[in-house]
Structure 1
Amino acid sequence: MDEKILDLHTAAAAKEGAKLAMDAAHLGKKAACEFYTTFFDPRASIQWTTVALIMYVEIILCLILLMPWIPPTLWKKFFQSHPVLVIRRYTHIYSTIIIGVLVLLFADSIREVRKYSKIDVAKGASVGTSAEADSLAQMRSYNAQRNLFISGFALLFYLMLKRLVSLVSHSADLEIISDVAMKHAETAEETARTLIESKDTDEAVKKLTIQVQTLEKERDCAALENNELKDKLSELQMEYERTCTHLKAAENGEEKKDK
């Protein structure tokens, strides 16, 4: 009698183990399919890979524009070249489209983060949450947060890049104006010295002196504006470095959460 009961318990345990193994295999297969759909969906992959590439290109361009050994006048010549001028004819269209797309993606990523945050809270409050549902929810929440960082920083770097290009062009204009003013001042000084040496009339000397003083004031104003622009560029560079630090910290935080 005891042997029959033991055999029945053994058979029941074996049957239960086989059922659990089949359930585990089914859950593993379903989780693998969900993982593939989450990470390798062609639409999501192309969409967010493109946004990430845009962000990387923006970072590289910002770094190139911040290089101190490239003078603003050289950038001015590059911006005034024929191929760039052809592209700049439609800059407002490109800019509007890119900003609109990035803003839409950023808003969508915020919606996704809030959506999966609510799902996590609801599942945390429930009692019988399965491991599969928990892992898939965490996976989707991670993807939503990653997309939020990518779209947000892509939008931020795009705005910074536009501002950098504007500041570099303005700095080049100020340098050109400063050089022209200095040349005029030097020419006026040479003319004044020549007239003084040749003992011309006092009236001519006074006029030339006033002209020299005016040109010197213009030169000083141009130099002051140039220094202010350099200060703005240095502040923008510091802001860029802080942004990169926050980005690295956010990525490190996401890696720790993933671990």
Structure 2
Amino acid sequence: MSLQWTAVAFFLYAEIVVNLILCIPFISAHRWRVVFRWRIWGWLSSYWNKAFFAMIIVLVVLFIDAVREVQKYSAPQSTQDATVNPNLYDNVHMKLFRAQRNLYISGFSLFLWLTMCRVATLLNQTAITLENSAELQAQVDAALKEAKQHQEKEQMFKKVISEGEKSMAATKEQLKLELEKLSSQLKAAEEDRRKSNAEVEAMKRQAKGLALEYDRLLREHHQLQNQRPEDKKDQ
């Protein structure tokens, strides 16, 4: 195996290990989020896109080269030449086997590279989503708590209003009773006033009658006094 394919094979093994680690179920996305926040990833983030596309280009070139080698050693002409010479036949099949091996190595390396990057991105997005959902849950809990407090205040206000209405109804009933009592007292006072007025009128008429009687008696008294001197003169 040449140096480049040895490097690709080790890269494939490393990808398998990393993908298996990323797929471990008991490591949560939140922990991967903490790992992705390390400073080294922040330092490598500026080179990440270039390295990602460069690795894709390298693996695609190697994959195309492996496909070309497989087609080269799978051609009918190579098979016909190999049947003539047995040593050449073994050499052609050995090169075909190596070309197919390189094809599988480069193909799986490219596939696992894309898969690994996608899994890492999904883990990061999942962690961000969980953090946002936790914040949203906290906001929802706070909103529910506030709504519950408003509901309790509303119930308290309703209770106060109900008690106020009951108190107003009781006060209104009491005022109505007092008004009826005052009305009855007013009627009684009006009746007493009429009686008093009637008594006053009667007393006025009586006083007027007494005054007339007094005037009459006074006139009679004057007449009697006037008659006495005349009687004395006659005697």
Give the TM-score of the pair, scaled to structure 2: 0.62
Query: Matched residues in 1 for 2:144 and 2:13: separation?
Result: 51
Offset of residue 194 of structure 1: 2.6
- 8 Å contact from structure 2 (residues 63, 107) kept in 1: yes
- Determine if the alignment matches structure 1 residue 97 to structure 2 residue 54: yes
1:226-241 alignment, distance < 5 Å: none
Query: Matched residues in 1 for 2:78 and 2:72: separation?
Result: 12
Aligned to 1:225: none
SS at match of 2:74: helix
Aligned residues: CA RMSD: 1.9
Are the structure 2 counterparts of residues 72 and 194 from structure 1 closer, same or farther at C-alpha, using a change threshold of 3 Å?
same
Aligned to 2:107: 152
- 8 Å contact from structure 2 (residues 82, 92) kept in 1: no
User: For residue 105 of structure 2, what is the amino acid of its counterpart?
Assistant: I
Query: Matched residues in 1 for 2:8 and 2:80: separation?
Result: 35
2:86 to 127, 131, 139: 131
Query: Matched residues in 2 for 1:164 and 1:147: separation?
Result: 25
1:208-227 alignment, distance < 5 Å: none
Are the structure 2 counterparts of residues 138 and 190 from structure 1 closer, same or farther at C-alpha, using a change threshold of 3 Å?
same
Aligned to 1:173: 128
Are the structure 2 counterparts of residues 108 and 171 from structure 1 closer, same or farther at C-alpha, using a change threshold of 3 Å?
same
Number of positions where the alignment pairs a residue of Structure 1 with one of Structure 2: 157
State the identity %.
Answer: 31
Aligned to 1:6: none
2:72 to 87, 104, 115: 115
Aligned to 2:20: 63
- Determine if the alignment matches structure 1 residue 189 to structure 2 residue 144: yes
User: For residue 146 of structure 2, what is the amino acid of its counterpart?
Assistant: T
Larger radius of gyration between Structure 1 and Structure 2: 2
SS at match of 2:84: coil
SS at match of 1:70: coil
Aligned to 1:79: 36
**What 5-or-longer segments of structure 1 have no aligned partner?**
1-38, 203-259
Query: Matched residues in 2 for 1:159 and 1:127: separation?
Result: 39
Offset of residue 126 of structure 1: 5.5
Offset of residue 122 of structure 1: 2.1
User: For residue 100 of structure 2, what is the amino acid of its counterpart?
Assistant: Q
Query: Matched residues in 1 for 2:145 and 2:72: separation?
Result: 74
Query: Matched residues in 2 for 1:124 and 1:180: separation?
Result: 67
- 8 Å contact from structure 2 (residues 82, 89) kept in 1: no
Aligned to 2:4: 47
Query: Matched residues in 2 for 1:105 and 1:167: separation?
Result: 28
Query: Matched residues in 1 for 2:78 and 2:56: separation?
Result: 36
Query: Matched residues in 2 for 1:83 and 1:114: separation?
Result: 43
Aligned to 2:118: 163
SS at match of 1:89: helix
Query: Runs of at least 4 residues of structure 1 off by over 6 A?
Result: none
Aligned to 2:95: 140
